[in-house]
Structure 1
Amino acid sequence: MSQETVKAALMQAIAGIQGNPGAAKVVFRADTQLEEDVRCSAKVRDFAPIIVDEPPDLGGADAAANPVELLLVALGACQEIMYSAYASVMGVQLNSVKVNLRGYLDLRGLFGMDAAIPPGYQKVIFETAVDSPADMETLKKLVETVEKHCPVLDTLVRAIEVSGQVTLNGQLMEAGAVPA
């Protein structure tokens, strides 16, 4: 797909939303299932299932990336997609975009060994390398735009509402059993 094709698709989507603001509200879905030990499968739209596993030192067979690695993948891929999308709209030629990510996690939080340590990442670092013939001013504007509008980056840095419910043997747990 060329930069012009990406731009045309995005401009058509923007025009559609301008004509019908309700079309801007979308819901993405995923269904996951524990398969065996700590290996899971995830289903998104009509794609083949995504396998998720853990390394052997966390009880897995190392058959696939684990959930926290997938979070890094989601951030890096979202950044790259946003660079492509905004560069096409802004008319900026990109030769390449690569993102290197690291997530720092303390397993004492995951294993419940220290209540003061959160179970998730304490820090995520991404390093983006953009290669483009565009001038520095244009590229700085592109970077600012991408970092301001990347949905996964925004989701990670902004507190959002997350809620859930648990059904045990076909019976919904009482309200308040799952933190909102």
Structure 2
Amino acid sequence: MTNHDNLTRNGLDLAQMQQTIGAIQQDPGIALFEFRARNQWINGGENRSTIKDFYGAKAEDNSRDKAFEFTNGEPPVLLGNNEGANPVEFLLHALAGCVTTTTVLHATARGIKIHKLATELKGKIDVQGLLAMDDRVPVGYESIQIRMHIEADCSDEELDDLISFARDHSPVCNTVCRPVPVSVERVRRVVAA
């Protein structure tokens, strides 16, 4: 094993990981974050989200020089022009990213080295719910399946335990799996003359 392997595992800095955990144990308020997104409608089903600033570790974070931009669109069959992935596809992207990151984080904490990790997600949705055509049809995904392909230096039992733990501790997965209050409020009304 090289000195680099002693300092990092799975691309994560082990000393920084321990410092972060220690700091949160000393002051749990450091763990409170507020992430933000702003969205602007463009036309039809196209809109654009920007993500830049957030609050975390008891301070406003200004480490990003420019905002990340994400264009939401729809395929032609859903009245769009493929301007970008649609929002329910972005949800799959967020879920895949969060489950992957959570798996890597907790593998690192457990001393497990990951060699390969890839996921495939499928979400089943009936758009009759969105279109208010049938009140019996749920609005949104009816089910989501994640298939994880992972190779790591551990037993199958340890791997199964890691994956189960990651599913239960992934913030996006947990948000999707439990009811989370979401409020929508109108800020102002502008009427054209």
- 2:131 corresponds in structure 1 to 111
- 1:26 corresponds in structure 2 to 33
Amino acid at match of 2:14: K
Deviations 1:16-43 (A, max 9, x none): 1112111111111111111122111111
Q: Check the 8 A contact 1:7/1:85 in 2, yes or no.
A: no
Amino acid at match of 1:116: R
Asked if 1:158 is matched to 2:165, the reply is: no
- 2:62 corresponds in structure 1 to none
Name the one with the larger helix percent.
1
- 1:177 corresponds in structure 2 to none
Amino acid at match of 1:14: I
Structure 1: distance between partners of 2:99 and 2:189: 41
Amino acid at match of 2:43: E
Of residues 70, 79, 82, the one that matches 2:90 is 70
Asked if 1:93 is matched to 2:93, the reply is: no
Deviations 1:53-111 (A, max 9, x none): 11011111102110000001111111111111111111101111111111111111111
Structure 2: distance between partners of 1:43 and 1:49: 5
Q: How does 1:1-40 map to 2 (within 5 A)?
A: 2-3=8-9, 5-40=12-47
Amino acid at match of 1:38: G
Q: 1:6 to 1:35 in 2, by over 3 A?
A: farther
Question: Aligned residue pairs: how many?
Answer: 171
- 2:48 corresponds in structure 1 to 41
For structure 1, which runs of at least 5 residues remain unmatched after alignment? 172-180
- 1:55 corresponds in structure 2 to 75
Tell me how far 1:6 sits from its aligned partner: 3.7
Amino acid at match of 1:37: G
TM-score, normalised to structure 2's length? 0.81
Q: Check the 8 A contact 1:6/1:85 in 2, yes or no.
A: no
Structure 1: distance between partners of 2:138 and 2:168: 27
Q: Check the 8 A contact 1:99/1:127 in 2, yes or no.
A: yes
Name the one with the larger strand percent.
2
> Which segment is superposed worse, 42-51 or 75-84?
42-51
Structure 2: distance between partners of 1:6 and 1:81: 14
Q: Provide the secondary structure at the position in 2 that maps to 1:13.
A: helix
Tell me how far 1:158 sits from its aligned partner: 1.0
TM-score, normalised to structure 1's length? 0.87
Please report the RMSD computed on the Cα atoms of aligned residues, expressed in angstroms: 1.9
Structure 2: distance between partners of 1:71 and 1:116: 23
